[in-house]
Every structure is written in C-alpha cells, then in structure tokens.
Amino acid sequence: MPTTIPSPDTCMPSPIPPDPQKPTPIPEPLVRTHPLAGPFHNPRTNELMPHKTKRTSDPYGAEEVILDLSGSASSMANQQLTSGTKDPLSTGARPSSKPSDSKSITLEENATCNTCGVEHIVLLLRGLETSLSSERHMSFTCGPCDVAACMDSASLADRPPQSQIRPTGKRKKGRGQPRSDMRCSACARNLGVGHMQVRADGTNEQRRREEWTEPMFDIEVVCSSCWEKYRICSTVGAPYQGSARSRIYIPLTVASILQCGGGNSFRTGKWRPRELFRPGKRNCSLSHERIGAVTYKYELRRCPSEISPEDLSAMCSAWVDVKLRNRAVAKEMEASIELRTYEAIIARSEISQKELADFIGAEPRAGVERLIVLQWEAGKVKAKRSKSARTPLPQPEMTTASFQGRRNLHGFMGAQVNHIKGVIFLGHAFVKKGGKAESSNLFRSVISAATETHRANYPTSPHLAHVCVALFPIDPNAPAQLQHSHSSNWGGCGFVPVDKYVVGRRIEKDLFDEPGIIPDSVRKRLENWVATVVELLEWCDSVNNGS
C-alpha cells in the first residue's frame, strides 16, 4: 500500500524565523581616552590636533582601539594624511621585524575616489599598534574614473619626441605612484586602483627629504555596499605572530570552531547577511557544527510509496539551514540574479520545501520514475597518518530498508527518470559536506538505481544516456572568477550548457525540457546543463580512485 505523505505543514518546523529581523544597527562605541595616546600633531602645520580613541570591537569580533582625529582630518583619497601619532620631538625607531609586545589592533578608515569624490571604500587596517602609529597616505581611484583617465590619455596622434637628457641634481624622494588593483574582500568585485604608503620615521628636523615606504600592516578592502549589507562571521582575532610583514591568521581553537569556515588570507570566516546576526553576537545564527570524517549509508526510496513521514521530515527540516549556509554568502549573493537578498533566499527556500513535498508525494506519469537517495551518517572515522599509497574509496552500498530510530541526514539527491526519453533529470538535492566524494556517491547511486529499473522494465526503450540538471543563471555583471562557477563546479563533472551539448548530436535541446520537477514558472528561468551518463560515471571513478 502506498504510504500517505503528510503535507508540508505537518513536517518538522522550519528553522526560518517567522519574520526575518531587520539588520541590527551597530551600537555606538564607548569613547575613552587611550592610556598610550600622546599629543597628536598635524604633520603639515605641526599644530596640536584634538583627538579621541574609541575602544570597540572590530568586524571580526576582536577588541580594537580606533583613533578619531577631528578638525582638519579628511578623506585619505584627497591627498590628506589620515593620522599621525608620532610626536615631532620623539625619535622612535622603525618597527622591528621580530615579534614585539605591541598588541594587534584593527582600524577602520574610509577612502574616497580622487577624481569623482563620490565612490568610497572601507579600509580595514590590521597589524601591530606600532606599525599603525605612523603617518600614512592612501590614494584611490574608482574603476569608472580609472577607465576614463586611461581613455583620455590615449591618442592616435604621434607623440613628440622626448629628450633623453636627465635633469641634474638630486630630487626629493616624494610619494610614488604605483598602481594595484583593489578588490572587495566580500563580493570580490574590482573596485579600482589604489596604493597605501607610510611616511618613514624621524622628526621634521631629521628629514631632509620625504621618504615613503610600504605599509607593514595588512589592508583589507570592502566596498561600501557590502559593508552595509554584510558582516564577517568570525570569533576573536588571534594575537599577532610572525614578522611585521606576515599575514595575521586565526589559529584553530575552541572559539574558532564556532565560526563559519572558509575565508581568505586575513582571517577565517565568511561575509554573511546582517540579518543572520543576533544582537551582541560575533558569529551568525547558522549551525557551525564541524562534521569531520564520517562514513555514510545510502538508502534508496522510490516515490511516493517508499517515502516515510520521518524521511520527509528530515529532508524538510535540514533544507533551509543548508541552503542558507551555501547561498547566504556575499560572493554567492552578489553573483546571483534570483537570490541577491536575504529575503529572496528565505522565500526561495520555503518554496523549495513545498516543491520537494509535491515532488515526493505526487504519482509520476507512465514511463517516468522518481527516486530519492538518502545519505545517512553511519559513524565517525579517526584520521590515521600513513605513508602508504592512497586506497581507492569503496563503492557506496545502497539499501531500501528503513532504519528505526533517530539518525543524522547529511544529504540527499532526487531524480526524475524519463525512461521513454532516456534522460535522468536531477531534482532537489543538498549535501552538508559538499566534497567530491559525497557528490560522486550520490551521482553513482542515482544512476545505478535508474539503470537497474530501466533494464528490468524498459528493455526496448532508448538506453539512459543523458543526465540533465537545471541551474539558476549567473549575473553577467558578477566578478570574473564567479562568471564560470557552473563550469568549474558542474563542468568539472562533465556538464555543459544544453546549447553546446546538442552540437554534433542528433538530438534537439527540447528533449531536456521536463515538466513535473519544479513549477513551470520557475523552470523557464533556469538553464539546462547536460552530461552523458558515461562521462559522469568516469568522473565518479576518478574521484573514488583518487586521481
């Protein structure tokens, strides 16, 4: 007898908040006088400048001391020196390359485009307190202004010959004009070009000429829109280690286990929507469980008769958290067309839950079969160091028997197999630990189950030769490294766009238009990517063999 499938309303409650909270405003930091702060002087006029120090938490959760200069201080991009904590009468030495007792701090500063004065960026300067005490200068030109300047300088007319005679005499060594690309740490967009320089130590009397050096601290760039939209999910920063020019890393401690993985050379953590952060918390509200090394058990379910209420409840309850974990990241959101905001991700996840329940509960038409492969955690594995050659991964063992008791669902993959067309259409799927081995086992399990049914019940139909998946398109204005994310992810398994796939084959791309998996209103906005069954299985073999 077919199992009665409950409605989505009877499933385990979703972790989505009923009313997504608005971004939490950043509280005003307490203003205190820094005990180490001395008199601050304008480096040009040598006048005493009023100042305050703000002790607060940086975007990563670490305590920081921010210097606030009032009066003549202005944007760094307008050729002004942002701060100078060196007394003109002092004779401080240049920061040593060896670790010192000075603590690591983070300063937040802004830079505005030299040309238009409109576009601005946020600079996070992180390093030793001594390295951030010198005068510094930041020059920034936004992308459009930089392109316009390059076009204005280009000319088809011949340039007059330039004299090869160099002027005699010594010139003052002023600020140089090197250019370096500036990319947003959150969305990875190219924001323009710029350069930071620090004035060498020494008093005005000792300086016979201006000397500017490279900074001995890290500079992280964030565009203004990402700064307002996202926060970094991270814990307290690590103390400074290594030389003054080395990067600052966060060691793996008990605290860092409570943050999102990934990140860049500045820290561990990810830029996530501000809606995911609770007041007073440094990390987001998503699960930060570390899965570690585990073994899996794969179970096959044919829809709708073999799906139990426990199976459906487990899939629906984990769906939203996994989608938020994968989609609610600045780089992914800024490269997406459909899922650009937190609200859009939540809405899409809720709709997907209902689509999944409808896909599982509806009876398929003749010649069509619906499969679900469930990936359950079977146990933990202790890592062992061995110098021997890598052993190929075992083939996934699949059963159809249900297990009574509480288990942890790590992933699943749904598929609609059209035995008349000879195409396997992938449907809803997710994995908590999205490695190649996990994807390979799910692909192989779906193909094996579909092929077994095809041989037994459809021997005269065309053999199963194609695997098709519908993907949301990538924003054409997304950063270059994200433009081909489908090619690098799905393309690595052998998938290509359907327009390219049908070239040279005696098939029409309409073959891959399949109703019943997702609503037609959504399906028409997606792009079909197709791979051959043979190539996909070859990729699975290469993953299992470790090649």
pLDDT digit string (tens) for 69-79?
443 333 333 33
**pLDDT surpassing 70 at residue 481:** no
What would the DSSP string read from start to end of 148-207?
Answer: HHHHHH--SSPPPPPP-PPPPS----------EEEE-TTT--EEEEEEEEEEPSS-TTT-
Q: What is the largest CA-CA distance in the chain?
A: 99
Q: Mean of the pLDDT values across residues 1-25?
A: 45
Residue of higher predicted confidence among 375 and 150? 375
Q: Show the tokens assigned to 80.
A: 């002004």
Confidence of residue 168 (pLDDT cuts 50, 70, 90): very low
Among 59-68, 484-493, 515-524, the minimum mean pLDDT is found in: 59-68
Helix spans in 18-172 (H): 143-153
At 534, the amino acid letter reads V
pLDDT digit string (tens) for 408-437?
888 899 999 999 999 999 998 888 876 788
Confidence of residue 330 (pLDDT cuts 50, 70, 90): very high
pLDDT digit string (tens) for 223-237?
999 999 999 987 534
- The share of the chain scoring above pLDDT 90, in percent, equals 28
Cα dihedral across residues 162, 163, 166, 172: positive or negative: negative
HEC states along 346-389? HHHHHHHHHHHHHHHHCCCCCCEEEEEEEEEEEEECCCCCCCCC
Give dist(CA 249, CA 265) in Å, integer: 7
Confidence of residue 513 (pLDDT cuts 50, 70, 90): very high
Is-above-0.75 flag for pTM? Answer: no
pLDDT digit string (tens) for 354-372?
888 889 988 899 999 999 9
**Residue 236 confidence (pLDDT):** 39
Give dist(CA 269, CA 262) in Å, integer: 6
Range picked from 8-12, 52-56, 468-472 for highest mean pLDDT:
468-472
**pLDDT surpassing 70 at residue 340:** yes
Contact present, 102 and 130 (Cβ < 8 Å): yes
Of 393, 389, 396, 474, the residue nearest 442 (C-alpha): 396
**Residue 85 confidence (pLDDT):** 34
Give dist(CA 7, CA 11) in Å, integer: 7
Q: Which helix (H) or strand (E) holds 315?
A: helix 309-327
Give dist(CA 382, CA 228) in Å, integer: 42
Domain ranges across the chain: 30-92+100-151+174-230, 291-382+391-544
At 541, the amino acid letter reads D
* Domain at 291-382+391-544: CATH code: 3.40.630.30
**Residue 201 confidence (pLDDT):** 67
